[in-house]
Copies of this chain bind each other. A is one copy, B any other.
Amino acid sequence: MDATSKVSVAKYGGGIVSSVEDIIAREYALTIILDGDELITLLCTPQNLEYLAVGFLVSESIIADRKDVKNIRVFEDKGIVELETTKSSTLAKKLYGKRTMTTGCGKGATFYNAVDSLSCKIVDSDMKVYAQDILELMRKFNKCSDLFTNTGGVHSACLCTDKEFLLFHEDIGRHNALDKIIGEAVTKGIELTDKLILTTGRISSEILIKAAKRGIPVIVSRSAPTDLAVELANELGVTVIGFARGARMNIYSKKERIVY
């Protein structure tokens, strides 16, 4: 399905109004049916829906790996993806969305989700990245998002080494874009513990936790992080970089991974 739709727009500018056809981002409702039960409806860009579903389940700790999925069927016209698993976490399903305020990893960061606090582990990668390489990656990344250029309405995420892009996805939701990356990576067996994530979206706690759970050591955004994301990043050993634009960037946590 196309990621965009055509709509008729009245464009107003300089006192003049004209009717034109314009392209806007498509928003699509995808319901995940897991082993016969409805789990959630995601509002997303209708592309790479298998990766989105697998990535979402992995991010939520409901499955550990692509191997846990026996069958996956996307019914694009119905907005449904059905997954049959060989092994899924009953605890994670049961606790899905449930709150717990708990301190993780013995140091004091606060998780608001029970499963996240259980899945918490320190990212101990000894990866080092040159600051200039990150800025070069971001320059390339900014040029990649054709959908954004056309519609102004989507986020992009990219998985890369310090030199080259490996995976790239776009979605109207910044969480979905990252889940598509994670879904494709686990499907293709790509190691994540020595890679970077680039994102156009803000780095909130949810984005940080998704990346940390897969052992990804560095997240770079052209936008801002939140304080909770930085707190969790310090706790979990993830390097958070924000406002990476042009020749500048801010490093918020685990700063020793960056080489100048």
Interface code A67-105, partner B: CB below 8 Å = 1, 0 otherwise? 000000000001100000000000000000111010000
Cα–Cα distance between A110 and B31 once the two chains are bound (Å): 14
Interface code A1-17, partner B: CB below 8 Å = 1, 0 otherwise? 00011010111111101
Cα–Cα distance between A245 and B188 once the two chains are bound (Å): 43
Kindly state whether residue A34 has any CB partner on chain B within 8 Å: no
Known: A43-B206, A251-B10. A230 touches B24 (CB 8 A): yes
Which residues of A135-180 have CB atoms within 8 Å of chain B's CB atoms?
151-153, 172
Main secondary structure of the interface of A (DSSP, over half): strand
Q: Is the CB–CB distance between B152 and A12 below 8 Å?
A: no
Cα–Cα distance between A14 and B131 once the two chains are bound (Å): 11
Q: Please, which residue of chain B has its CB at the minimum distance from the CB of A203? A: B153
Kindly state whether residue A27 has any CB partner on chain B within 8 Å: yes
Cα–Cα distance between A151 and B204 once the two chains are bound (Å): 13
Categorize the interface residue count of chain A: 35 or more
Residues of B within 8 A of A248 (CB): 11-14
Q: Is the CB–CB distance between B99 and A78 below 8 Å?
A: no
Cα–Cα distance between A249 and B18 once the two chains are bound (Å): 11
Known: A7-B252, A13-B248. A27 touches B151 (CB 8 A): no
The 15 sampled A-B contact pairs (Cβ below 8 Å) are: A9-B251, A12-B249, A12-B250, A12-B251, A17-B251, A17-B260, A26-B227, A27-B204, A27-B205, A27-B229, A29-B101, A38-B98, A41-B113, A43-B112, A153-B226
